[in-house]
Amino acid sequence: MPHTLKSLLTHDKVALEAALSLGSGTARIEVQMLLQQVLGVSRAWLLAHPEQKLDEAQAATYRALLQRRLAGEPLAYILGEREFFGLNFRVTPATLIPRPDTELLVELALQRIPQSLPSPQPSPACGRGSLFRVLDLGTGSGALALSIAHARPDIEVMAVDASQDALDVARENARHLSLGNARLLRSDWFSALAGERFDLIVSNPPYIADGDAHLAQGDLRFEPRAALASGADGLDDIRRIVAKAKAHLNLGGWLLFEHGYDQAGRARELLLQGGYAEVFSARDLASIERVSGGTIR
């Protein structure tokens, strides 16, 4: 017998709560999002039609998606997208799922870009000749780089990643957002950037310790290991980035990077040892020191 949207919501919300230890509100929203995906409707439409029934094909598709979610697969991979900084990003298992915590890094980056920049001069070398250049290291879906490029069409953003599969997704996102000021490049951190200098370098690098139990839990089980883990203390990539970024920053330029909830002290030490000035850490909405950075003089 065909089920109504209301009965599916009531029943499957409870199943998701039990299978994934989700709160009732989160489970409800997840079921709604799966139903929206299958029916191709807005949330408002879904809420306004509780007695609507799924036809056979829709019910089969919905059941398949629900089973994947019940097995723990992240909702963002099932839906193929995740919202970040007000924009929709395509995500696949080749990319990290952008986290709300990382929006702090976008905010801090945007604060460091002067409000008004002189008009760009045409330059044969890079086309636009932008006067302010941003680099995003380990761009994944492009969440950081493309949010910055979208907010500031008057600057040039370069984004690199070691994973070609992730870069393909980021390229699709750049095209979807119609961004003409973002360039994507495959690079092992700075290896393909010899001679390139930037006014701002941002990164959300891998920063989880190799043996951390969280890697075997929740969404992290499905995300690329190379996007998450970074050596015995989780700081291998941050050490590389802090050591090398200075040579790629213009005077007065900033390096800003995200790190783990308990890594701010060590991140500041690395920045100070590396000769950065005005070293600081900033707290996310949960009041956790989440981003650290410094400038060069």
Ligand X SMILES: C[S@@+](CC[C@H](N)C(=O)[O-])C[C@H]1O[C@@H](n2cnc3c(N)ncnc32)[C@H](O)[C@@H]1O
In the complex with ligand X, the residue whose CB is nearer, 31 or 227, is: 227
Tell me: does residue 204 bind ligand X (CB under 6 A): yes
**Among the residue ranges 138-146, 172-180, 246-254, 264-272, the one whose residues contact ligand X (CB under 6 A):** 138-146
**Contacts by residues 272-280 (CB-CB < 8 Å, ≥ 24 positions apart):** 274/242, 274/243, 274/246, 275/246, 276/242, 276/246
Q: Applying CB under 6 A, which of residues 29, 113, 185, 226 lies at the interface with ligand X?
A: 226
In the complex with ligand X, the residue whose CB is nearer, 17 or 210, is: 210
**x-or-dash string of contact with ligand X, 54-93, rule CB under 6 A:** ----------------------------------------
Tell me: does residue 205 bind ligand X (CB under 6 A): yes
Cβ-based burial of 286 (10 A; exposed 0-12, middle 13-18, buried ≥19):
exposed
In the complex with ligand X, the residue whose CB is nearer, 71 or 192, is: 192
Tell me: does residue 102 bind ligand X (CB under 6 A): yes
Cβ-based burial of 211 (10 A; exposed 0-12, middle 13-18, buried ≥19):
exposed
Query: Residue 212 contacts by C-beta under 8 Å, 6 or more apart in sequence?
Result: 229, 234
C-alpha radius of gyration, the chain, whole number: 21
Residues that contact ligand X, how many (by CB under 6 A): 21
Write out the two tokens for 77. 């991979």
Q: CA-to-CA distance for 244 and 239, rounded, in angstroms?
A: 9
Cα distance from N-terminal residue to C-terminal residue, the chain: 71
Identify which of 162, 157, 171, 215 has the alpha carbon closest to the alpha carbon of residue 189: 162
DSSP conformation letters of 58-94: HHHHHHHHHHHHHTT--HHHHHTEEEETTEEEE--TT
Q: Applying CB under 6 A, which of residues 138, 234, 260, 274 lies at the interface with ligand X?
A: 138
Which position has the token pair 């390096």?
255
Tell me: does residue 163 bind ligand X (CB under 6 A): yes
Taking CB atoms, the residue at the shortest distance from ligand X is 138
Tell me: does residue 189 bind ligand X (CB under 6 A): yes
Tell me: does residue 263 bind ligand X (CB under 6 A): no
In the complex with ligand X, the residue whose CB is nearer, 66 or 159, is: 159
Q: Report the Cα 48 to chain-centroid distance in Å.
A: 32
In the complex with ligand X, the residue whose CB is nearer, 156 or 161, is: 161
Tell me: does residue 140 bind ligand X (CB under 6 A): yes
In the complex with ligand X, the residue whose CB is nearer, 148 or 227, is: 227
Per CB under 6 A, residues contacting ligand X are 96, 98, 102, 138-141, 143-144, 160-163, 166, 188-189, 204-206, 226-227
